[in-house]
Structure 1
Amino acid sequence: MDHAPAPATDDAASLAALGVRSDFDRSMSMIENFALGFTYLSPVVGVYTLFDTSLQAGGGPMIWSYVLAGIGQFLVALVFGEVVAQFPISGGLYPWARRLVGRKWSWVTAWVYVWALFTTIAAVATGAAPFLALLTGGSSAPGLTTGIALALIALSTLCNLAGTKLLARVAMFGFICELVGALFVGGYLLAFHRVNTLGSLLDPMNAAPTNGSYLPAFLAASLLGLFSCYGFEACGDVAEEIPDPGRQIPKAMRMTIYIGVGASIFACAALLLAVPDIPAVISGKSPNALSDVLMNAFGPMGTKGVAAIVMVSFMSCVLSLQAAVSRLIYSFARDGMIAGATSLSRVSTRHVPFNALYLSGLVPGAIVLLGLFAQDALTTIVSFAVVGIYVAFQMVVAGALHARLRGWHPSGPFTLGRWGFAINIAALAYGVLAIANILWPRMPDAPWYINYSMWIGLALVVVTALAYLALGRPHLRGNARHADAWLIAPRRR
């Protein structure tokens, strides 16, 4: 657990002791670091993107997927907190996996996570288009949706290139707008437009088969919670841009779970209690429950105001995602682990990895363009993004357990003490079950390549990672430390 504050330390010297030299500017405060994680998690983006789909799949009880995912991800955040406290290195999952297990494991972890973040950026940018259409009164035709997504990614890239200070300020602005907006919209709906009882949050209605179990419907709807309860790891991706990261980042991660998941549950509950006819949504007769609720409650002009808040949330979410993946690419390249390492590890005079940022804009942009020609593009992209991130997460959680079994005793300012093993095992069990649920094929009538699209996407990413590893042997480049977590003696407290 957290220990009493220590005297101020030289963060550069602490990094040097880990064999790392940083070119970043430590200008991000703890609250701004939290805001980065919050806007990445983005309660509004998660709820507003998948509300209709999840409600139709599982009815009102789908809200409890937030609780289960929140508890599971809190366990993961505790494990991450221990690791980042000892290894506060930019790039998050990649350097953590490198120090916990080794070079090959970290290479595959980083490759999976990079592509998961690329697809997440594309998914979030694409998901913003209908809300901009609602705000402007325009259409949401595929071509326009693609153009809006590309413009959002380009704008986010420009903001990120401006430096850490602007990133932190935009994240704070996005956090304030999103939290205030979620509380206002949710509070207004509960006060003036609640038409359902609290019992509807426990009643599956016709989402449950007459003579069968409700569990399959709930598991199908739980993508809402699984998609919405991560983002806290972004706090660790910028570890070299915040003072005293070993103490501050674990706090920011936990705050992201407390406040972000709490806001998500509140916003989702308010919307559910304002849906006039939940059975009609489940049956498909009323497929646009979210827009119907907002229009009934706020009217055309008020709905535009809500859409404006949602657009700020989408923008700040893309910004935070890009910041996270660019730092991962930079950290990967700094260790010489990828083609173009010299270029991708360059840092601008504004202390940002500018070439890594360009790449984090170009690749998601290409995915958006590919989505223009794919059936059910948003659902497919979001689904792969979620499973990719969960797989990368669990590679770190499994890596932490591996290191513990080798004799690792976490030695940072935040540790779990005697509870470390139990929490690590519980976090791994949660993650494995979540991955199994995400990958479970649920469309037997669809073509096999649609029903198994997530399997195909995950297999493609893992196979390319292993092929690159075998043919290029990138893990042998550079001399950055690896597999040394259990060799570092615990500090005296």
Structure 2
Amino acid sequence: MDTSAPSPHDADGYYEYHDHDDAAHLHALGYESEFRRDMSPWANFSLGFTYLSPVVGIYTLFAFALATGGPPMIWSLVIVGVGQLLVALVFSEVVAQYPVAGGVYPWARRLWGRRYAWMTGWVYLVALLTTIASVTYGAGFYIAPFLGIEATTMNVIWGALATIAIATIINFLGTKVLAWAAIFGFTAEIVGALAVGGWLLIAHREQSFGVLFDTFGTGGGGSYFPAFAAAALIGVYQYYGFEACGDVAEEVPDPGRLIPKAMRRTIYVGGAAATFVCLALILAVSDIPAVIAGDDVDPVSTLLSDAFGPTGSRVVLAVVLISFVSCAMSLQAAASRLAYSYGRDDMIMGSSLLRRFSQTRHVPPFALLVAAAIPAVIVLGSYFSANAVVKIISFAAVGIYIAFQMVVLAALRARLKGWVPSGKYTLGSWGLPVNVAALAYGVIAMVNLAWPRTPDVPWYDNWIVLLSVVIVVGVGVVYMALHPAADRSDAPYDDAIPRT
């Protein structure tokens, strides 16, 4: 299934890379890049890994997943990992042919058309901005204990704003600094995850492996499936980040060959690390029924305190905070490249600013400011209503999945209309079945994300995820009707399907 098409520069199939090939390929796609290709394959993979961030994802949702579905919730990481790998394979074919900054927006533009691409990018941009707010807001709850202060509303807000500021500074320093920061974040997170998980398994293991098949009655005496589906959100929230490898396509040498590899490695390594962290935490919890009953609402903090003591747990918290900063940094890089891509194609209000480029740092400064300012405003909103912020952030995961599946759908439509991927990575005859399977998985995942599970709350809270989708898409439709920039853009579009 993993095949790389030979370079047209060598009839014998041996591929020799020349840096001018990237500029020529991009020029053939209708663009002249201002970015510098300073991001190595290792850094590109690290960017995707830190965006996926197994530590952030598992630590944030572990208590919810264990209380909802018991230890078998860990199997959702395997199931979702396979599903998202299918999506990553489809993306790999697309980015190999269209290695353009911005990710899902330019891909949808070439596969389908301008208005479809506008909506794809709009949904993804809103999801990215709310995800940055979500990650940095979550960091605030770890910064407080690290500093030895109470996690009050204001302390959490200040911690979140500090996280946004650090991530923004790193991004403003340019691709090379971003690349080194991504590698550092990856190294710290993977070493920390292995060290903490290994120590918990060796010195603080309380459960046998058989517990992974014990639901502890979370099914409520009926079918276990609803409980597992709800707990599976830990997996659904975990596996995105691989697309960030393609968001910076104009900053990677030989992107058509290297980015597909980075995407797949992000799934392999990130998924394995997340599963290992989750396994270590489950087997180290001494009283699982207490977590399920709600008596221990923060089992991760309990475990870290018991296993490492005050000093050791603070060191672990430092690693966790590095993971949060790295994740925010990678998300911000993805959001800024998307906003810049919109501006370069003159697709949205403020395009003249979004496409501005710093010739000193080789980054889009105003696009980066958008990726910092809007999440900061959302975080500040929690001072007035934490519940309102939770509602805004609820769109984050489902929005990313919708944008993903819009690209998968566009790829399937184009394939059925005659598109044959022609980049350096192709699936060959596996392309169509993988595409169909990826779309089927994505639809199931989105239904699971939007499914109402809180019948005791007001209806608008019970349906908050679906309502947030309707609002974001509705605003996008109204915007396109009132300000039809998508129809004015003369950048290349809808050229994947062969014309007769």
> What is the TM-score normalised by the length of structure 2?
0.96
Q: Structure 1, residues 230-275: CA drift from partner, whole Å, max 9, x if none?
A: 1000000000001000000000000000000100000000000000
Distance in 2 (alpha carbons) for counterparts of 1:462 and 1:59: 35
The aligned residue for residue 332 of structure 2 is 322
The aligned residue for residue 462 of structure 1 is 473
What secondary structure, in the 3-state scheme, does the structure 1 residue paired with 2:275 have?
helix
The aligned residue for residue 98 of structure 1 is 109
The aligned residue for residue 178 of structure 2 is 167
What letter is aligned with 1:7?
A: E
The aligned residue for residue 127 of structure 1 is 138
> How far has the Cα of 1:146 moved from its partner?
1.0
The aligned residue for residue 6 of structure 1 is 15
The aligned residue for residue 41 of structure 1 is 52
What secondary structure, in the 3-state scheme, does the structure 2 residue paired with 1:140 have?
coil
The aligned residue for residue 377 of structure 2 is 366
Which of 64, 71, 78 is matched with 2:82 structurally?
Answer: 71
C-alpha distance 152-251 of structure 1, shift in aligned 2 (>3 A): same
Distance in 1 (alpha carbons) for counterparts of 2:354 and 2:390: 31
The aligned residue for residue 262 of structure 1 is 272
The aligned residue for residue 207 of structure 2 is 196
Which shows bigger deviation, 478-487 or 228-237? Answer: 478-487
Q: How does 1:204-215 map to 2 (within 5 A)?
A: 204-210=215-221, 212-215=222-225
1:15 equivalent in alignment to 2:19: no
The aligned residue for residue 282 of structure 1 is 292
Which of 296, 299, 307 is matched with 2:306 structurally?
Answer: 296
The aligned residue for residue 153 of structure 2 is 142
> How far has the Cα of 1:384 moved from its partner?
1.5
The aligned residue for residue 118 of structure 1 is 129
Asked if the contact 2:144/2:159 (under 8 Å) is kept, the reply is: no
The aligned residue for residue 423 of structure 1 is 434
The aligned residue for residue 156 of structure 1 is 167
Which shows bigger deviation, 260-269 or 284-293? Answer: 284-293
Distance in 1 (alpha carbons) for counterparts of 2:83 and 2:77: 10
Could you tell me which runs of 5 or more consecutive residues in structure 1 were left unpaired when the two chains were aligned.
none
What letter is aligned with 1:274?
A: A
Could you tell me which runs of 5 or more consecutive residues in structure 2 were left unpaired when the two chains were aligned.
7-13
Q: Structure 1, residues 392-443: CA drift from partner, whole Å, max 9, x if none?
A: 0000000000100110000000000000000000000000000000000000
Q: Structure 1, residues 190-210: CA drift from partner, whole Å, max 9, x if none?
A: 011110011111111021212
Asked if the contact 1:35/1:172 (under 8 Å) is kept, the reply is: yes
The aligned residue for residue 11 of structure 2 is none
Asked if the contact 1:335/1:477 (under 8 Å) is kept, the reply is: no
Distance in 2 (alpha carbons) for counterparts of 1:72 and 1:163: 34
The aligned residue for residue 233 of structure 2 is 223
What letter is aligned with 2:351?
A: A
Q: How does 1:474-489 map to 2 (within 5 A)?
A: 474-487=485-498
> How far has the Cα of 1:138 moved from its partner?
0.7
> How far has the Cα of 1:378 moved from its partner?
6.8
> How far has the Cα of 1:7 moved from its partner?
2.3
> How far has the Cα of 1:448 moved from its partner?
1.6
Asked if the contact 2:378/2:389 (under 8 Å) is kept, the reply is: no
The aligned residue for residue 447 of structure 2 is 436
> How far has the Cα of 1:380 moved from its partner?
4.0
Distance in 2 (alpha carbons) for counterparts of 1:263 and 1:476: 44
Q: Structure 1, residues 62-82: CA drift from partner, whole Å, max 9, x if none?
A: 111111110000000000000
> How far has the Cα of 1:121 moved from its partner?
0.2
Distance in 2 (alpha carbons) for counterparts of 1:488 and 1:415: 21
C-alpha distance 201-295 of structure 1, shift in aligned 2 (>3 A): same
> How far has the Cα of 1:285 moved from its partner?
1.3
Asked if the contact 2:35/2:362 (under 8 Å) is kept, the reply is: yes
> How far has the Cα of 1:371 moved from its partner?
3.0
Asked if the contact 2:71/2:215 (under 8 Å) is kept, the reply is: yes
> How far has the Cα of 1:365 moved from its partner?
0.6
Which of 95, 99, 118 is matched with 1:88 structurally?
Answer: 99
Distance in 2 (alpha carbons) for counterparts of 1:369 and 1:423: 42
> How far has the Cα of 1:376 moved from its partner?
4.4
Q: Percent identity among equivalent residues?
A: 55
Distance in 2 (alpha carbons) for counterparts of 1:227 and 1:148: 23
Provide the alpha-carbon RMSD of the alignment: 1.3
Distance in 2 (alpha carbons) for counterparts of 1:78 and 1:488: 25
Distance in 1 (alpha carbons) for counterparts of 2:194 and 2:427: 33
> How far has the Cα of 1:373 moved from its partner?
3.2
